């Protein structure tokens, strides 16, 4: 019997699906809680209340929300910035710039329409809109001072990494120390920008308070600290709780004047808070809907933070 020649078809391997990026549900929860704390603080900072919970939340000891945001942002940004990949960096800057420019324009037009149509007295000044773009914080969307800081610090980090390369992390530690020198001499708090309106001076001064938190987050990302902590979860949790309590209960560092979250103690407190939430045992939650919920709410935390002030003005 003649044996038929068999034509072997080449085995075509299907491209493997890209591995999903690890998602830290604990940090997602922290983002949402921090956004809520900001809304509560802005709601009650100008009004009196006897509610003990509200008074506790809005006390000066509970100010970890913004530093935590900064630490988390630059932790997750570390790898992208170190790559110096133009496409990745461009996409990152666009994610910051589009809402930074777009939302003030939308709010401006809404205010202008309501003022004209219903005789409202909402902010629709072109001068304030210009200051909004220049410094991020005006009565249009004052919380955008945070975006201004994110953009400015991101550009500064890119420049330092591009120039110093292997020594960039060391230079960033010098930036951290220099920022604290500026804070503890209260140089940033003094009237060095008198020609600008108060809210613009606030934004510039807050940069010196934001930089240490940003450098901290970047450094934690460089050494992949969260991965190390998760291998020693119980020890890290107990130590973080202990340090955080000591920082809150005792005035270890000298109190200094500032605009938002000045001082070393608040940075340390925020590091501990981030550590505690990063250790969230999501693998123990079997209900996938709970995890999906935690994943979803973090997508709205930035919107809640940025837009609660202008929306409140319409109510």
105-136: pLDDT as tens digits: 999 999 999 999 999 999 898 988 988 998 88
So what's the pLDDT on residue 45?
63
Helix (H) or strand (E) holding 198: helix 198-222
CB 96 within 8 A of CB 154: yes
So what's the pLDDT on residue 257?
84
So what's the pLDDT on residue 134?
87
pLDDT bracket for residue 47 (50, 70, 90): low
pLDDT bracket for residue 60 (50, 70, 90): low
pLDDT bracket for residue 93 (50, 70, 90): very high
Range from 18-27, 171-180, 241-250, 258-267 that averages highest in pLDDT: 171-180
DSSP string, 69-123: HHHHHHHHHHHHHHHT-HHHHHHHHHHHHHHHHHHHHHHHHHHHHHHHHH-----
pLDDT bracket for residue 46 (50, 70, 90): low
State what percent of residues in the chain have pLDDT above 70.
86
So what's the pLDDT on residue 114?
93
Q: What whole-number distance in Å separates Cα of residue 307 and Cα of residue 140?
A: 10
So what's the pLDDT on residue 110?
94
Tell me whether residue 196 is exposed, middle or buried, using C-beta atoms within 10 angstroms of its C-beta: 0 to 12, 13 to 18, 19 or more: middle
Higher pLDDT, 111 or 302: 111
Task: State pLDDT tens for residues 135-176.
Answer: 888 878 888 999 999 999 999 999 999 999 999 999 999 999
Mean pLDDT over 232-241 rounds to: 93
So what's the pLDDT on residue 39?
82
Q: What whole-number distance in Å separates Cα of residue 251 and Cα of residue 229?
A: 27
State what percent of residues in the chain have pLDDT above 90.
46
So what's the pLDDT on residue 8?
47
Q: Which two tokens stand for residue 183?
A: 């804070």
Q: Which two tokens stand for residue 233?
A: 């979860």
So what's the pLDDT on residue 213?
97
State the CB neighbour count (10 A cutoff) for residue 308.
19
So what's the pLDDT on residue 51?
73
């Amino acid at each position: 019997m003649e044996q038929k020649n068999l034509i072997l078809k080449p085995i075509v391997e299907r491209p493997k699906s890209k591995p999903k990026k690890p998602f830290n549900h604990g940090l997602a929860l922290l983002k949402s809680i921090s956004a809520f704390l900001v809304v509560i603080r802005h709601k009650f900072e100008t009004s009196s209340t006897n509610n003990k919970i509200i008074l506790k939340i809005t006390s000066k000891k509970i100010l970890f929300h913004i530093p935590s945001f900064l630490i988390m942002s630059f932790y997750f940004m570390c790898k992208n910035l170190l790559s110096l990949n133009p496409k990745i960096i461009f996409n990152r800057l666009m994610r910051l710039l589009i809402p930074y420019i777009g939302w003030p324009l939308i709010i401006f037009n809404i205010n202008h329409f309501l003022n004209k149509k219903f005789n409202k007295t909402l902010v629709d000044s072109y001068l304030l809109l210009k200051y909004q773009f220049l410094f991020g914080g005006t009565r249009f969307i004052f919380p955008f001072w945070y975006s201004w800081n994110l953009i400015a610090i991101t550009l500064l980090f890119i420049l330092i990494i591009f120039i110093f390369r292997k020594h960039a992390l060391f230079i960033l530690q010098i930036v951290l120390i220099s920022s604290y020198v500026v804070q503890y001499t209260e140089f940033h708090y003094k009237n060095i920008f008198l020609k600008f309106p108060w809210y613009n001076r606030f934004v510039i001064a807050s940069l010196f308070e934001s930089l240490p938190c940003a450098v901290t987050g970047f450094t934690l990302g460089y050494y992949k600290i969260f991965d190390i902590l998760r291998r020693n979860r119980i020890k890290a949790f107990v130590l973080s709780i202990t340090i955080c309590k000591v920082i809150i209960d005792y005035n270890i560092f000298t109190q200094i004047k500032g605009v938002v979250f000045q001082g070393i103690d608040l940075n340390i407190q925020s590091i501990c808070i981030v550590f505690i939430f990063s250790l969230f045992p999501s693998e123990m939650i079997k209900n996938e809907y709970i995890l999906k919920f935690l994943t979803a709410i973090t997508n709205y935390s930035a919107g809640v933070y940025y837009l609660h002030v202008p929306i409140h003005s319409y109510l």
